[in-house]
Structure 1
Amino acid sequence: MRLTRLFTLISAILALLVCGVQGRSLWSEWRQYQSAERGLQALQLVEASMRAAEKLSFERGPSNAVMGDGYPAAAAKQERLRSARNDTNNALRQLQQQLDQRDATAALDQALREARRNVDQLAAQPPDGRTPAQLNSAVERMYALVPLALDTVTAATHASEQAYPRITRLLVKSRLAVELREYAGRLGSTLTVPLATAQPLTREQQERLQFLRGRLEQLRQLIRMNSSEADQAQAVQAALARMDSDYFARGQQIISAVEQASSSPRASGAQRYGMDTAQFAQRYVPTMAPILAVRDALLQEAQLQAHREFQQARHELGWAMLNGAAILMVLVALLIIVRVRVVAPLLRATRAVVRLGNGDFTAPSRISRRKDEIGDMLRALATLRENSMERQRLEQERAHLIEELKTRADTDYLTGILNRRAFATAGNLRLRGAREKDESLAVILFDIDHFKSVNDCYGHDAGDQVLIRIAEVVRATLRDGEILARYGGEEFVVMPSYCGLEAARALAERLRVAIEQEPLTLSDGYILRVTASFGVAVAHGPHAALDDLFHSADLALYRAKSQGRNRVETQL
């Protein structure tokens, strides 16, 4: 094995080994960084879904107030409902913008429209026309919206938990806080129908209250269960304490007061509860705000933890890249030193000897002017080198001359385009291609109308100028791949790329218009306008022949001339 190949092989092996080890390390760090970045995005999406769920839950209060009011509902209550709906719409719009799939919230949007339409229909009826079943149905429809909002980002929740396993408990507890807020809202909404109808709680409603209380207490205990240092953060503990004092103490007292009023034998009629749905919402809804504060505190701790891990992943990726770059730079520097100081001198000496042995004198060798036999030999080699270079120069001139003669043989001397012989060669080659591809091949044959009169009136020099200018106009109109040649005299031929008869006819019409509209300025300044007649023919199939194609185009050209010239005719 040659020294150059051996050195290249060794260098390649070392480079591959180093790059493989560094690439594996960088790929691992890059995947961790991407996973952390996707986890942050997913965490933001989870937060947006919880915000949307919060607004959907909050909208139930104004909705219950409107359904429990007279007809029409008070303007202030209607305004609060419109404001709540606008807040919900904005939250859902932000959630939709963060989702990759446009139709991810389609089911939620449809359910929200139906629930709102149901609320508006009930609000448009007199209070006596609103049955408890209808009110319960409207409330249940609003209940179903929150789970739909949370389900839209289930995949994002899983992605965030996979990227940051240590925040899984925080995300679970934040979702439990959302559920706690939802069940607290359901607890209050259970009283919507009794408050709206001034009727006592039914047995079913009392059982539902007990069930919801039990569920609320269960969620409360799950949220308060400490499982990590983040759960014991000061902000989380403060939010939990406020939730206990505001909701589980004061909020539950409001619920108990309504229950006692319902079971009181002395209360009856519209004064049974001493409040309507709107007044109940104004007292009860503010007590649920600390639940959302718990959710926000848990999400904030999760985001802080995720950002710390993301920064750590980015720093590790940066260090891995710097480390890999440093190792590669050291390796390259070592290889360059070895090549320049050891391999290159050996290569130069070897190549000089090999050149002389193979008779390659294209590059001069570094020789000394010695006065001995070695000097005579080197001078003789220099003479041979000069003779070899002269022979190469003569061969290049001969090849250039042959190429120039070939070009002249294929080019029309006047217009600079292909002549008839070259066009026939190119046409037969394209015809074979059309047969192989089973495509149509078109030929456009045209000549200048009344060209003889141009020669007779203005001279043959003017006729030559017309031919040159017509060739330039047509060549500028054609696209790459479309062949133009002078067929003879004032007759030209165009072969477009593979196309049908209609496309070829359209091209011929463009050429006809271009020639007709082009002013031809003669050498004496006289402006001359000429027209041309066109014949178009198309061949297709295995039996297509170039001579038959030309003959059909020539017949079409003859019809164009006989029918008035300056027109395009196609084969019959």
Structure 2
Amino acid sequence: MKLTRLLSLSTAVLALLVCGMLGHITRNAWLRYDATGSGLQALRLTHAAMVAAEKLSFERGPVNAVLGERFTADPARRERLQRGRAATDLALMQLERELLADDGMTRQTVLAPLRAALDTARHSVDQLAAVPPAERTPEQLKQAIEQMFGLVPLALDAAASYTQASELAYPRITRALIKARYAVELREYAGRLGSLLTVPLTTRQPLTPAEYTRLQMLRGRIAQLRQQVQATDSGGNLAIVTQRVDDIYFGEGLQLVTDIEQASRAGRAYDLDTAQLAQRYVPTMTPILALRDELLQEAQTQAQNDHEHARRELWIATLSGIAILLSLTLLLLIVRRRVIVPLLRATRAVIRLGNGDYSRDSGGSQRADEIGDMLRALATLRTNSIERQQLELERQSLIDELRLRANTDYLTGILNRRAFVAASNQRLQRARDCRETLAVLLFDIDHFKAVNDAHGHEAGDQVLIRVAALVRDELRDGEILARHGGEEFVVMPAYCQLEQACALAERLRLAIASVPLTLADGQLLRVTASFGVASATGPAAALDDLLHAADLALYSAKRKGRNRVESAA
């Protein structure tokens, strides 16, 4: 696997792992934030439900006052009842608004039983209130009061479900919510304790044994709730409100109940009626509501702090995830740009160097890191390779020049005798293999010694150069010309018969003789040459034999007067 593909695969795996980890962290932070938001809403619903339960309990006070009328209907008591009902309806409307904002119609159905029971209880109270006080029986009064008692548990049940949701979202506020629920129950049982006296005060009769028993049970439950509410190590406002509950309700409120109980046991007339009891007893329960609100406020504050903490954690997780992804992306880009891409370029440069291509520089040698060291080493290798290539070219050029000089006559620039022998033997080998005819022309310049004696060796050299040039111009490609020695030259034409070779020799002779040579002193010098031609065919062809036969024919031409062509017999 190539490095680029391996890097891409590793990058993809690393990105998936990082994204998965960040997604998990961010998801947990979001779930925590969402849960705290839902818990806050549940806490608001809890508070609304507790307020509704308290208003239902409060409504029993005006109900007891109206039902406890002794003679005629009191408009003031009816007015207080209407205000109590209005307060209850407002609390239920607020609860319904919270329910609609939280979960629409789904949770609104929770209040349907409470609404139905409230309508039934109010209808019973209104029917009984329309009956003259003297005609109201204790059983009717108890039934109406019990129906009012049954409303509060319905509201408390709704509050219990919301309280559980809050506790799940905020485990640290569980204790405060439990105490708030105890405070609501304390207010309810305190109200029931007062409502229990409605029938005796209305009928002006002592409490029955069952009512005494019920009274003691309610006192016992109130005492338990008092212990639960007071079992706290909190300070500040909560301690002050708890102390007010002890001083006012457990002091003044319960004392009113005790006074009525003692009057009942002693057979004395009651000093209060239901309306007066409500006016004095109900206010003593107000600190209980303040305790409930303080506990709920404590829970609300803790919940809000948790919600803000969850929000910060979500932002931190989100921003950290973005920062990590950006950092990872930037790191990968830097690695790709600063490491991978230079490595790829260096790899290509090494491949080009290996293939002998030194035309392009890999660049980047100015970098002051390990990659720069590598690129500088490659640049040095390229420079050394170029120098070595130049040296190799120079060496080859020198070899070619030496070979050329070894095979070329230094004066005339044509082949020397050694090169002619090598080239001729190759052509003779083909002639023998293919049974072709091969000819040799051997000629020398007439009276060349006389030219040297008369005009000097420089003139002789000019004659040799001029004759070589004239013959070279007359020959065609594939015809070999060489200086055989001194003023003697040899020509080996392409494969041809003896007659064709003699015709070539005659053309060369005429070319030499027809063009005079102008010497350095301005004199004209006419030069002639004598030719000897020999040929051989097939296996009989041998260079020494051909040269010997051509040499004999050359001597024959000289004997016959020079400036002529003679062929071997």
TM-score bracket relative to the smaller structure: 0.5 to 0.7
Counterpart residue type for residue 178 of structure 2:
V
Report the CA distance between 1:343 and its aligned residue: 5.5
* Contact preservation (8 Å) 1:64, 1:189: yes
Secondary structure of the 2:73 match is: coil
Secondary structure of the 1:200 match is: coil
Structure 2 Cα separation of the partners of residues 94 and 124 of structure 1 = 31
Report the CA distance between 1:349 and its aligned residue: 12
Counterpart residue type for residue 82 of structure 1:
Q
Secondary structure of the 2:263 match is: helix
1:225 matched to 2:231: yes
1:244 matched to 2:246: yes
- Tell me the residue number matched to 1:53: 53
Residues 125-172 of structure 1 deviation map (CA, whole Å, 9 limit, x = unaligned): 011221101100111111111110011133321121112111111111
Report the CA distance between 1:239 and its aligned residue: 0.9
Residues 511-569 of structure 1 deviation map (CA, whole Å, 9 limit, x = unaligned): xxxxxxxxxxxxxxxxxxxxxxxxxxxxxxxxxxxxxxxxxxxxxxxxxxxxxxxxxxx
Q: What is the aligned-residue identity percentage?
A: 56
* Contact preservation (8 Å) 2:180, 2:292: yes
* Contact preservation (8 Å) 1:69, 1:127: yes
Report the CA distance between 1:88 and its aligned residue: 0.4
Report the CA distance between 1:263 and its aligned residue: 2.8
| 1:336 paired residue among 324, 333, 336 | 333
Residues 379-422 of structure 1 deviation map (CA, whole Å, 9 limit, x = unaligned): xxxxxxxxxxxxxxxxxxxxxxxxxxxxxxxxxxxxxxxxxxxx
* Contact preservation (8 Å) 2:50, 2:159: no
| 1:287 paired residue among 284, 289, 298 | 284
Counterpart residue type for residue 247 of structure 1:
Y
1:320 matched to 2:322: no
Structure 2 Cα separation of the partners of residues 214 and 159 of structure 1 = 30
Structure 1 Cα separation of the partners of residues 4 and 256 of structure 2 = 91
Report the CA distance between 1:262 and its aligned residue: 2.0
The size of the alignment, in residue pairs, is 342
Counterpart residue type for residue 207 of structure 1:
T
Counterpart residue type for residue 308 of structure 2:
Q
Structure 1 Cα separation of the partners of residues 129 and 183 of structure 2 = 31
Report the CA distance between 1:45 and its aligned residue: 0.9
Counterpart residue type for residue 38 of structure 2:
R
Report the CA distance between 1:10 and its aligned residue: 2.4
Report the CA distance between 1:77 and its aligned residue: 0.8
Counterpart residue type for residue 115 of structure 1:
A
- Tell me the residue number matched to 1:259: 261
Report the CA distance between 1:295 and its aligned residue: 0.8
- Tell me the residue number matched to 2:80: 80
* Contact preservation (8 Å) 1:71, 1:124: no
Secondary structure of the 2:271 match is: coil
- Tell me the residue number matched to 2:354: none
Structure 1 Cα separation of the partners of residues 166 and 303 of structure 2 = 9
Q: CA RMSD in A?
A: 2.1
Counterpart residue type for residue 78 of structure 1:
R
- Structure 1 portions without partners, runs of 5+: 352-572
- Tell me the residue number matched to 1:493: none
- Tell me the residue number matched to 2:400: none
Report the CA distance between 1:117 and its aligned residue: 0.6
- Tell me the residue number matched to 2:43: 43
Which runs of structure 2 are paired with 1:355-394 in the superposition (5 Å)? none
- Tell me the residue number matched to 1:275: 272
Report the CA distance between 1:341 and its aligned residue: 5.0
Structure 1 Cα separation of the partners of residues 189 and 72 of structure 2 = 30
Report the CA distance between 1:342 and its aligned residue: 5.6
Secondary structure of the 1:275 match is: coil
Structure 2 Cα separation of the partners of residues 46 and 176 of structure 1 = 13
* Contact preservation (8 Å) 2:177, 2:299: yes
Structure 1 Cα separation of the partners of residues 116 and 71 of structure 2 = 27
Report the CA distance between 1:345 and its aligned residue: 7.9
1:124 matched to 2:165: no
- Tell me the residue number matched to 2:25: 25
Report the CA distance between 1:73 and its aligned residue: 2.1
* Contact preservation (8 Å) 1:52, 1:149: yes
Report the CA distance between 1:318 and its aligned residue: 1.5
- Tell me the residue number matched to 2:537: none
Secondary structure of the 1:273 match is: coil
Which runs of structure 2 are paired with 1:296-311 in the superposition (5 Å)? 296-311=293-308
Report the CA distance between 1:20 and its aligned residue: 1.3
* Contact preservation (8 Å) 1:32, 1:313: yes
Residues 274-298 of structure 1 deviation map (CA, whole Å, 9 limit, x = unaligned): 3221111001111111111111111
- Tell me the residue number matched to 1:111: 117
Counterpart residue type for residue 90 of structure 1:
L
Which runs of structure 2 are paired with 1:380-529 in the superposition (5 Å)? none
Q: Which has the larger radius of gyration?
A: 2
* Contact preservation (8 Å) 2:71, 2:134: no
Counterpart residue type for residue 263 of structure 1:
R
* Contact preservation (8 Å) 1:67, 1:122: yes
Counterpart residue type for residue 21 of structure 1:
M
Structure 2 Cα separation of the partners of residues 71 and 340 of structure 1 = 100
Structure 2 Cα separation of the partners of residues 337 and 245 of structure 1 = 74
Secondary structure of the 2:39 match is: helix
Structure 2 Cα separation of the partners of residues 281 and 334 of structure 1 = 77
- Tell me the residue number matched to 1:479: none
TM-score scaled by length of structure 2: 0.57
Report the CA distance between 1:174 and its aligned residue: 0.7
Residues 28-62 of structure 1 deviation map (CA, whole Å, 9 limit, x = unaligned): 22222212111111111111111001100000000
Going from structure 1 to structure 2, the CA distance change for 1:49 and 1:198 (only over 3 Å counts) comes to same
- Structure 2 portions without partners, runs of 5+: 349-569
* Contact preservation (8 Å) 1:174, 1:299: yes
Report the CA distance between 1:340 and its aligned residue: 4.3
TM-score scaled by length of structure 1: 0.57
Counterpart residue type for residue 139 of structure 2:
A
- Tell me the residue number matched to 1:150: 156
* Contact preservation (8 Å) 1:72, 1:124: no
Mean CA deviation greater in 154-163 or 208-217: 154-163
Structure 2 Cα separation of the partners of residues 342 and 210 of structure 1 = 88
Structure 2 Cα separation of the partners of residues 156 and 180 of structure 1 = 19
Report the CA distance between 1:335 and its aligned residue: 2.1
* Contact preservation (8 Å) 1:71, 1:123: no
Report the CA distance between 1:91 and its aligned residue: 0.6
Secondary structure of the 1:244 match is: helix
* Contact preservation (8 Å) 1:246, 1:287: yes
Residues 186-227 of structure 1 deviation map (CA, whole Å, 9 limit, x = unaligned): 00000001111111111111111111111111110111113x
Structure 1 Cα separation of the partners of residues 193 and 329 of structure 2 = 72
- Tell me the residue number matched to 1:134: 140
Structure 2 Cα separation of the partners of residues 304 and 262 of structure 1 = 47
